[in-house]
Amino acid sequence: MIFCPQCSSILMPKQEKGGNILACSCGYKHKETSEIKLTETREEIKEVEVAEEEKNLNPLVEAECPKCAHTHAHNWEVQTRAADEPPTRFFRCEKCKHTWREYK
User: Are residues 64 and 33 part of one domain?
Assistant: no
This prediction has a pTM of 0.49
Residue 71 located in a structural domain? yes
CATH of the domain at 25: 2.20.25
Residue 69 located in a structural domain? yes
Helix count and strand count (H, E) for the chain: 0, 7
The residues, ordered by sequence, that sit 6+ positions from 96 with a Cβ below 8 Å of its Cβ are 65, 67, 68, 70
Average pLDDT for residues 81-95, to the nearest whole number? 92
Residue 46 located in a structural domain? no
The C-alpha angle 51, 56, 62, rounded to 5 degrees, equals 155
**DSSP code per residue over 59-87:** PEEE---TTT--SEEEEEEE--S-TTSPP
**pLDDT by residue (tens digit) across 37-78?**
667 788 888 888 887 777 778 999 999 999 999 999 999 999
Residue 10 located in a structural domain? yes
User: Are residues 67 and 32 part of one domain?
Assistant: no
- Catalytic residue annotation: 84-85
Does the structure show a pLDDT above 60 at 33?
A: no
pLDDT over 70, % of the chain = 92
User: Are residues 35 and 2 part of one domain?
Assistant: yes
Does the structure show a pLDDT above 90 at 23?
A: no
Residue 92 located in a structural domain? yes
Counting the structural domains of the chain, the total is 2
Residue 97 located in a structural domain? yes
Round to whole Å and give the CA distance between 52 and 79: 30
Round to whole Å and give the CA distance between 45 and 28: 38
Residue 74 located in a structural domain? yes
